[in-house]
Structure 1
Amino acid sequence: MRHLAPLAAIVASLCLAGPAAAQGAVRSQHGDWQMTCDLVPGAADEQCALIQNVTAEDQPNVALSVIVLKTADQEARLLRVLAPLGVLLPNGLGLNIDGEDLGRVAFVRCLPNGCVAEVVMDDDLMAQLSEGDSAIFIVFRTPEEGIGIPVSLDGFDEGFDALP
């Protein structure tokens, strides 16, 4: 887990920056995704992430930051989502890609500007994200009220391949 410490620092800095996550240098644009890189204290090399900031179409005060990155040792691929404060934590974060419900993932921590859900992306999820057209991330305000936030997958495959 030691190799995740620099990774956690960049994601925390990206999450704490919120939608203005461009505190690091935006290196490239891939469809609707931006690759942002920054030197994290204690890390030998820059850490880069693929980022998309989105807002619910019908509720402009509900926004997500979707962050995709490779661990420093290149052994894992992570999908982290920063959801706004006020979401119902026990319901987790739902994901639907091109109409297929992929289930929910738990929130792992809350920061001053939102709560983070994360998942290690296996080959199946990578293929769905790479080949899909759109994803819907679902947060809950109440057990019955899910808010679907659309995320474009345009450029995801190209952007992920460009990550160092």
Structure 2
Amino acid sequence: MTIIFKKFRLIAVSFVISLLFISVSSAAPRPNQKFDDWLFHCTNVAVQGDVENLSTEAPEKETCALYQSLAARNRPRFGVVVLFEKYTGAQNPDTKIVATIKMLAPLGILLTQGITLTIDGEKLGSTPLFRCLPNGCTSATNITEATMAKFIAGETATITIFLTPDDGIAIPIKLSGLKDGFAVLNK
């Protein structure tokens, strides 16, 4: 494993934690659990905005995610983090949302194209990039039950990130272990 990849992996884990949480408490996280190509990580976060709790200690809740750190085959220094979180927001009666997928792409990419996602060659669409931070640009979108079923049944998903309108970098996401990891995420 190269030094660059080790640094990227450290940045990736930091990103996973920063995407999940607004502020992290001092409680120790549970160790990572591995589901084939996916890592499952939980940690306790301080819940903000709890006006009923007048103590000096912020209340905590456990937040978990299933994630992968990826690198482009032809550009090993071009790394991406993909993570799934359990969806806890309001539901539309017509479409059941079961997860949120978040992605971190490196700086220097074309923001207007967003990130394109395909599963086993079927294009699902593009998700916009909504914020660039010092460690990369983030994208997030909700995943319906039907789309999650495609992820679970699929062999490979691919995200495509553009450096220019004509230069898209396709990065494969291995889906083995996603079914078991997602089942644990939904407990």
**Fold-level similarity (TM above 0.5):** yes
Within a 5 Å distance, the mapping from 1:132-151 to structure 2 comes to 132-151=154-173
Q: Is the 8 A contact 1:26 1:34 kept in 2?
A: no
Q: Which amino acid aligns with 2:123?
A: D
- Give how far 1:74 is off: 9.0
Tell me which amino acid in the other structure corresponds to 1:52.
Q
2:12 corresponds to which residue? 19
Compare 36-45 and 143-152 and name the one that shifted more.
36-45
> Retained in 2: the 8 A contact 1:77–1:120?
yes
Query: Partner residue of 1:36?
Result: 41
Alignment of 1:1-164 (within 5 A): 18-21=11-14, 24-42=29-47, 44-72=60-88, 76-163=98-185, 164=187
Structure 1 CA distance, aligned partners of 2:136 and 2:142? 20
Q: Which amino acid aligns with 1:28?
A: Q
Question: 3-state DSSP class of the match of 1:129?
Answer: helix
User: What SS is found at the alignment partner of 1:58?
Assistant: coil
With normalisation by structure 1, the TM-score equals 0.83
**Displacement after TM superposition at 1:97 (Å):** 0.7
Aligned equivalents of 2:31, 2:160: Cα separation in 1: 27
Report percent identity of matched pairs: 34
The amino acid of 1:100's aligned partner reads E
Could you say if the C-alpha distance between residues 112 and 56 of structure 1 is closer, same or farther in structure 2, counting changes exceeding 3 Å? same
**TM-score, normalised via structure 2 length:** 0.73
Deviations 1:67-116 (A, max 9, x none): 10114569651000011111100000001110111121101111110111
Larger deviation, residues 105-114 vs 24-33: 24-33
Count of aligned positions: 148
Partner letter of residue 82 of structure 1? Answer: L
Verify the 8 A CA contact 1:18 1:65 in the aligned structure 2: no
- Does the CA contact (< 8 Å) of 1:86 and 1:141 recur in 2? yes
The CA deviation at 1:20 is 3.1
Q: Could you list the runs of 5+ residues in structure 2 that have no partner in the other structure?
A: 1-9, 18-28, 48-58, 92-97
State the structure with more CA Rg: 2
What is the CA–CA distance in structure 1 between the aligned matches of 2:120 and 2:73, rounded to whole Å? 17
Equivalent-residue separation in structure 1 for 2:67 and 2:90 (angstroms): 18
For residues 157 and 140 of structure 2, the distance between their equivalents in structure 1, rounded to whole angstroms, comes to: 16
